[in-house]
Structure 1
Amino acid sequence: SNAFYHPIARTVQDIARQHNYDVIIASSDHRYDNEKHFCEAVIRRPVDGVIMVPTHLTDEDIDRFIAFTQTPVVALGQHIKHPEVDVVWSDDEKATWEAVTWLIKERGYAQVGFLGVPDEYPPGPRRWRGFTRAIEHAGLSVEPDFIFQGDFTLESGRRAAQQLLARRNWPPVLFAVNDLMAIGVILELQDAGYNVPDDIAVMGFDDIPEAFIIRPHLTTIAQTPVDIGQKLATALFDRIEGRVSGSKRELECPYALVPRQSA
């Protein structure tokens, strides 16, 4: 599981206890069938409010869910456009642009590789746009041989590193759209006898606890999961307890560049 979500869930639980509510947690593993199953389960067994991190649910799916349950919903992710759903989000496209620009201008890398995810995962297109904008802004070109794809898991980072190892030319630095994949890349390269960052540098996104455990420590973009959890839970209880009604609110969370040893 991705440790990025752990402090979010813990913060939501802490705030729920302050309101004398219990929290039921379900993991979708980024699968559409699991997300739909969760909605169906809540329709059968009503709850007072829902916080979701939907990857595949559409606004139409969420609209049907709200129509059936009449339950307030708060979501993490700026891709959710439903007019009745409060959204907590971070500008990860801008964060990616800033990170890649920093790698080029401040760290002096002449080219940057990219380890992304399929477009069906909502952060994927945003972070890809941030990457390509930064490359173009620097007067560079996107090298197809330096583009890899995973699925947010550590194992997919290892697979991407195996593909990298099979190629003759490497980028001097690889930007991964989350920390787990970046860590998978580092571990696979180290197992093959290579040094990070001497042979290739690696940067991630999220700043999960493992980013400071891996050697070298992972350079990354830190999100703020406690703040995200606070905003999600507070927005939901605003709705449940009647302090807020009407159309959606958008609640932005900060991010920060965290330079360490891997890049």
Structure 2
Amino acid sequence: MVRIIDVAKRANVSTATVSRVLSSPHTVREETMGRVLEAIKDLDYHPNILARQLRTLESKTVIVVVPDISNPFFSKVLRGIEYVAAANGYQVLLKDTTNDLELESGYVDLLRQKKADGMIFLTVMNSELVNIVENQYPVVLACEYIEGSSIPTVSIDNISAARKATEYLIQLGHRQIASISGPTTSVLGQDRLKGFYQALAQYDVTVDPVLIQEGDFTYESGFNVMNKLLALNQLPTGVFAANDEMALGAIKAIKSKHLRVPDDISVIGFDNIKFSTICEPELTTIAQPAFEIGNKAMDLLFKLMKNKKIIRSQYILEDKLIIRNSCVKKV
């Protein structure tokens, strides 16, 4: 088996220099680093990661807990996380809770077992557990927040964004507006519904409570809830869905009843996932800076893991209304 001392001899450097090339290459002269990397390649040397972890008490791994990996929105957030992680020599371990509280608690135990140096949550179910862990380990929350918590968070203002989406429908002349919300047990579901109500109040629009229906952020729930709305005597002329997947499900349901989007019913979504530009018609939606959210979350976690000072604990990034073809002026 090739050892680090063999690489050092081949490159005519010390073993400490080889270690620096592997862990902190920016501290090594370019010419020296070239010799070491060439020796590593020639000898096919593979460093003993476990031994290095035992010496430094670092796993060089971070865990990202996702509520539903099938949701395409999270892929861009993950890219942002991995970009910063890789630049700092860390690997990302992805854990999908499938919205299961027990799984979330089990993944937190991985921190206690020293199998990771820090954790990023992309939404949280058990806020009490996370608040306890935050006092013991580096933890960051992305995409939402926990009321009254000091955990560093990165997100958009979901209330303001939902208000903006609903306001757009109102400005197009719609007054019979339905809402397909996310789960009202979740912060995102609550905040986006708040924004919807705020827009209605601002423009003195009264909506029948039967038009306010709860989904679960999945395509299937958007389809099923929209079918319930289509069974009403008076149909909505506009629909605000709290994410794009539910909006796409709603469009499918509308078309299945031989109605047209947007001529008969306008639909607006939230998240700006890739499918929003592929569907017909292309979906008007709220765009989140998903990559930047992941990027900033990992940057904050890295600072926590290195005991660096964080200037502020909450970062609100800017969202944007993307106008496409799924909404028209009410005639």
Q: TM-score, normalised by structure 1?
A: 0.92
Secondary structure of 1:12's aligned partner: helix
Partner of 1:27: 96
1:259: Cα distance to partner?
0.7
Partner of 1:61: 129
For the pair 1:213 / 2:278, whether they are aligned, the reply is yes
8 Å CA contact 1:75, 1:232 repeated in 2? yes
Return the alpha-carbon distance in structure 2 between the equivalents of residues 35 and 146 of structure 1: 33
In the superposition, relative to structure 1, how do residues 179 and 252 fare at CA in structure 2: closer, same or farther (>3 Å)? same
**Corresponding residue pairs, total:** 257
Gaps of 5+ in 1: none
Which residue in the other structure is 1:100 paired with?
Answer: 166
Equivalence for 1:257: 321
Range with greater deviation from structure 2 (197-206 or 38-47):
38-47
Q: Secondary structure at the match of 1:155?
A: helix
For residue 81 of structure 1, what is the aligned residue in structure 2? 148
1:171 aligns with 2:240: no
SS state at 2:267 partner? strand
Q: 1:13-52: per-residue Cα shift (whole Å, max 9, x none)?
A: 1211111111100011223222112112332343111111
Equivalence map 1:1-263=2 (5 Å): 1-58=70-127, 60-67=128-135, 70-76=136-142, 77-83=144-150, 85-105=151-171, 107-244=172-309, 249-263=313-327
1:138 is matched by which residue type in structure 2? Y
Moved over 4 A (4+): none
| Contact 2:229-2:236 at 8 Å conserved across structures | no
Query: How many angstroms apart in 2 are the aligned matches of 1:178 and 1:171?
Result: 18
CA distance in 2, matches of 1:42, 1:169: 53
Would the aligned equivalents of 1:32 and 1:55 in 2 still touch at CA under 8 Å? no
**Alpha-carbon displacement from aligned partner over 1:132-171 (angstroms, at most 9, x marks no partner):** 1111111111211211111000000110122122222111
Tell me the C-alpha RMSD between the 2 structures.
1.6
Give, as a single letter, the amino acid of the residue that structure 1 aligns with 2:324: R
Give the greater-gyration-radius structure (CA).
2
Residues 176-221 of structure 1: CA deviation (Å, up to 9, x unaligned): 0000000011112222322111111110011000100110000011
Asked whether the 8 Å contact 1:221–1:255 carries over to 2, the reply is yes
The answer to whether the 8 A contact 1:55-1:120 is kept is no
Segments of structure 2 that go 5 or more residues without pairing to the other structure are 1-69
CA distance in structure 2 between the partners assigned to 1:122 and 1:2 by the alignment: 17
How high is the TM-score relative to the length of structure 2?
Answer: 0.74
Report percent identity of matched pairs.
30
Contact 2:183 2:214 in 1 (8 A): yes
